[in-house]
Each structure stands twice: as structure tokens, then as C-alpha cells.
Amino acid sequence: MNILMVYPENPDTFWSFKHIMKFVGRNAAFPPLGLLTVASMLPENWQKKLVDMNVNDLTDDDIEWADMVFISAMIVQKDSAFDVIERSKAMGKTIIAGGPWFSSQETLCDGVDHFVLNEAEVTLPMFLADFASGRLKKVYTSQERPDIRQTPTPMWSLINLKKYVTMPVQYSRGCPFDCEFCDIVIMNGRVPRTKTPEQLIIEIQSLYDAGWKGAIFIVDDNFIGNSRKVKQMLPELIAWQKRMKYPFTFLTEASTDLAEDIELLEMMRDANFYKVFVGLETPDVESLKECGKYQNTKIDLKTAVQTIHQYGMQVMGGFIVGFDNDSPTVFETQIRFIQQIGVVTAMVGVLTALPQTRLWRRLKEENRLLSDSSGENTGSNLNFVPRMGVEKLQEGYRTIVSTIYSPKYYYKRIDTFIKNYTPTVKTRLHYQDFRAFFRSLWRIGLFSKSRFRYWKLMIKTGLTRIRCLPIATELAIMGLHFEKISRKEAKNVNRKHPDYRQ
């Protein structure tokens, strides 16, 4: 059997980083971990080929070669996924679909022959057993939460590692919190399941053996969801890093209670974690209560961010506007908050109702749903009727993104961040790091409207905080991408769904 695995193209979004790939000579931020893992679950004697459309074009020859086409996609990739399905179907191929988007749909997509939904450790063996017996069904689904200690190592040989900025690894699934707008609990449950320390070490060793050096994204829903298990694993990771002379830096996602666990912060610092995404959402306590984000009401968010920065991890923050409790002043409040805490990578979006979430169900009951979610983390495209009114929310959102990603505000945030940041990461500089630095001198230092602020940042950091120079360079480059994304969102802010009700 020839199995073609296709990962659809990502649009130009906040996390795509498409505008900075030329700086580092790469094609995409991350490879498709799900498909790489599924490839390891398929029979060994099946021939496998993976086409990541963010790296390579999907050709007719690729499709012609295949007996079956496996597609995995997120909601944001649905347009590209539809195109892949149409092309594959036109060439008479059997199409198998899975992943977050397909698993979240109320209705199934036309053209797909078989759906292998939810967690593949459970549903893929069902599909393979029926395939062997010649009795395939249309849909394979299960609410069972598998033991991910049985999950195999991803098949890295299917990709060219040099095409990517960061490699993904998963340690756990699930999150103990149940925020109203979040679909993590639906996909992976509230009881975090972890791999063994030995299993994680085998996976990162496999990346090292494949020739990878650099950043690894531990893609967990909430890395510290089971902090007891994490504290058992981290000493093993620290020992491996020391033994191998720190070939990797790590980034991940965590909840704000990380800032209250000094032992965990010290361990993550010693393991060479350098970034962590945190859902800060809003400084408005009533809006936090509304969405069930009670963990953020029990801690001073500014102090939490500063604490994490002091342990060598840059906080990347998620922020939301559009809660029912948000007042007209929320937009200026968010701007001040983001600037004061020094979160440079600030992902700001309008609240969206993802399929099957508690928010989605509530809004459906209130007859306030308008359309499906676009799947984008940022943007002003509403799929529900907001309490404050469409135009006020969209205009306020435009004010936020056009302000915080203007050169003046962006570089001021970098300055605030560097003042509070304690660089602890042990890293080896690679060719792409030097390439990015010199390209930034040319592209930003000479031809950007931010050039004066760029030179002020570079000179000041070089003279006073030399160890922060690499991260200052990275943030300056990322600013170009964020500025373009914010301009796009500002232009799109007045687009309205035909069913908008004022």
C-alpha cells in the first residue's frame, strides 16, 4: 500500500510566521506532529510519503502514486483541505481524514471516504482491523482517552528537518481547567495523561540522532497540568541536556499557576526552557470569571509574568476581547496591561465560539451563534452576536492591534521585557542565527520604518545587556511579521457576516 499523508497549507496568520522565514532560511515554523505520529502507527510494510503543503507543493504525481490519501487539518486549514480532497477525489483516490477540524465538525465533509476521528491510538487500530477484513465503515470515533505511554515515536524520516524552525514533541494531553471558550477538554479531557520520562528522552534523542539542533516545542495543552509528573520527568531531561551539552532549547504552553511554583520554574530553567505561552486573556476579573478562567483571578498577572521572565522564560501571551462582561473601556485597558507587563508576543483576538465548547453551546442556546469559527487565533471575524455590539467590538479590536504592533509601542515593550528578563538559556548559535542577525541589519536597520528604534535597541542591548542581544534580534524580526498581520486585521475589521444583528 502506498500512503500519501497531506498536511494542508496554513493561511497567513499570527503563528504562521510566514513573513520571517526568509530571515532564517526556513519554510515553515513546525512540521505536522500528528501525521508523523500516525505514520509510525501504520503497518511497517506500507510505503509512506508526507507532503507538508507549507513546505512543498502537492503535485498530481504525488496523488497518482498513492493508494490512500490521509489528511489531517486544523480548522484554519479547511480551505486548503477542501482543495486536497477535491483533487484527490478527482483522481479516484480513497481519502481518510482525521485531526482537530474533522473531529470537531457536526456534519461530515463530502468527498472523504473514511473518517478516523478523535485520538488515533484508539480509532486508527479500529480502521486498520476493518481494512484487513475488508469491512471498512464510514466513521471511526471514540471518547476513550488512550494511555499515551503506548504512543510511538514520530517518523522524522518523512520530513526534511532543515525546512523547519522548530521541532514539535508531545509529553502530555489534557488540561485540568475548563475555560468556557477552550476546546482542549473536548479533544483531550480534563485529566492530563503523560508519557514516561524515558519515553520523552527517547523522542528527543531520536531528533538529535536525526540531526536536529535548536528549538523544540513541547506542544502540550498545559505542560504543567500534572505538575507532579512533570517534576519527575524534568530531572531526566536536565541530566540528558547536561550529558549532551545542551543541544536543545524548549518552549511550551502553561497556565499562570506556573509562576507560583518556584521548584518547577527552577527545573524548567535548568532544562533550558526559554519561552512559554500563557493564556492571560484579560485583566478584567469579571470577564475571567465569566469564561471560567478562575486560575487567573487568584494571582496578580503582572507579577506572574515578571516572575516567569526572571527565570529565563519569555512569556508569550494570549489576550481576548469580546466577553459579555467587557465594558467599552476594555480596549484601552488591554493596551495598558500589555504594555505594562512587557509581553512582546501578544496574541490578541476577538472571542470566538469553537465547535462543541461550553461557549458554543451557551451561545447556541441563546440564539447568538452566526457561523462556524474561522479557526484563527487572532482577527475580528465574529461568529456570534456580542453584547457590546459588532461595530464597537471590531473598532476597539482594531485600536488594540494597530496600537500594540506600531513600532513605537512594540519596541517599548521589548525594552520593558529586557529590563525584567534574566537570560539563563544555554544555547549554541547556529548558521541560521547569524543569517537572521545580518539580514535584520540590512532589512530592518536600513529599509524599515522602525530602523531608528531598531538601532537604538541593538546598541543599548549590546552595551548594557549583551546576553539579551539574540532575543532582542529575534523580537525585532518578529515585529515585521506582527506588524503585517495587524495591518491585515485592521483592514479586515469591517467585514461583516451577512447574518450580523445589531
Mean pLDDT of 216-234: 97
Asked whether residue 56 is assigned to any structural domain, the reply reads yes
Compute the CA torsion angle 329, 333, 335, 337 (nearest 10 deg). -170
**Does an H or E element contain 469, and which?**
helix 469-492
Q: What is the DSSP string of 75-101?
A: GGGHHHHHHHHHHHHHTT-EEEEESHH
80-131 pLDDT, tens digit per residue, is 999 999 999 999 999 999 999 998 875 678 899 999 999 999 999 999 999 9
125 and 251 co-located in one domain: no
Take residue 219 and report the three cell numbers written for it. 506542544
**Does an H or E element contain 252, and which?**
strand 248-254
Instruction: Report the percent of the chain where pLDDT is more than 70.
Output: 96
What is the pLDDT, as a whole number, of residue 310?
A: 97
Asked whether residue 483 is assigned to any structural domain, the reply reads no
Mean pLDDT of 66-93: 96
Asked whether residue 454 is assigned to any structural domain, the reply reads no
* Separation in Å, CA 300 to CA 214, 284, 481: 33, 12, 30
Q: Are 276 and 317 in contact (CB under 8 A)?
A: no
Give 495's pLDDT tier (boundaries 50, 70, 90). very low
Take residue 312 and report the three cell numbers written for it. 529565563
Take residue 497 and report the three cell numbers written for it. 457576516
**Residue 416 burial class via C-beta count within 10 angstroms: exposed 0-12, middle 13-18, buried 19 and up:** middle
Take residue 131 and report the three cell numbers written for it. 481494512
Take residue 240 and report the three cell numbers written for it. 540528558
Q: What is the mean pLDDT of the chain?
A: 93
46 and 171 co-located in one domain: no
Residues 6+ apart with CB under 8 A from 120: 34, 37, 38, 41, 98
Q: Are 78 and 103 in contact (CB under 8 A)?
A: no
295-307 pLDDT, tens digit per residue, is 999 999 999 999 9
The domain boundary, picked from 371, 403, 418, lies at 418
Domain that includes residue 333, residue range: 165-418
Mean pLDDT of 387-398: 93
SS3 readout for 295-321: HHCCCCHHHHHHHHHHCCCEEEEEEEE
Give 500's pLDDT tier (boundaries 50, 70, 90). very low
Strand 47-52 to 68-72 pairing = unpaired
- What's the structural domain count of the chain? 2
Judge whether residue 177 has pLDDT over 60: yes
What is the pLDDT, as a whole number, of residue 485?
A: 85
Choice between 345 and 487, residue whose per-residue pLDDT is larger: 345
Asked whether residue 492 is assigned to any structural domain, the reply reads no
Q: Are 239 and 205 in contact (CB under 8 A)?
A: no
130 and 213 co-located in one domain: no
Asked whether residue 464 is assigned to any structural domain, the reply reads no
Residues 6+ apart with CB under 8 A from 219: 33, 168, 169, 170, 252, 253
412 and 333 co-located in one domain: yes
* Separation in Å, CA 243 to CA 246, 248, 290, 468: 8, 12, 47, 25
Q: Are 145 and 191 in contact (CB under 8 A)?
A: yes
The domain boundary, picked from 393, 418, 443, lies at 418
Instruction: Name the 3-class secondary structure at 114.
Output: strand
Asked whether residue 435 is assigned to any structural domain, the reply reads no
10 and 126 co-located in one domain: yes
Take residue 99 and report the three cell numbers written for it. 485531526
What is the pLDDT, as a whole number, of residue 492?
A: 65
What is the pLDDT, as a whole number, of residue 494?
A: 44
Give 493's pLDDT tier (boundaries 50, 70, 90). low
CATH number of the domain at 84, please: 3.40.50
371 and 249 co-located in one domain: yes
Judge whether residue 502 has pLDDT over 60: no
Distance of CA 223 to the CA centre of its chain: 13
Residue holding cell 486536497?
Answer: 84
Alpha helices in 210-261 (DSSP H): 227-243
173 and 107 co-located in one domain: no
Q: What's the whole-model pTM score?
A: 0.94
Compute the CA torsion angle 268, 272, 277, 282 (nearest 10 deg). 60
Give 487's pLDDT tier (boundaries 50, 70, 90). confident
30 and 105 co-located in one domain: yes
CA distance 154 to 34: 8
Asked whether residue 491 is assigned to any structural domain, the reply reads no
CA distance 354 to 27: 29
Mean pLDDT of 156-168: 97
What is the pLDDT, as a whole number, of residue 106?
A: 59
304-334 pLDDT, tens digit per residue, is 999 999 999 999 999 999 999 999 999 999 9
Asked whether residue 17 is assigned to any structural domain, the reply reads yes
225 and 312 co-located in one domain: yes
Mean pLDDT of 42-47: 98
CATH number of the domain at 324, please: 3.80.30.20
User: What's the sign of the alpha-carbon dihedral 426, 428, 429, 431?
Assistant: negative
432 backbone dihedrals φ, ψ, rounded to 5°: -65, -25
239 and 365 co-located in one domain: yes
22 and 84 co-located in one domain: yes
312 and 366 co-located in one domain: yes
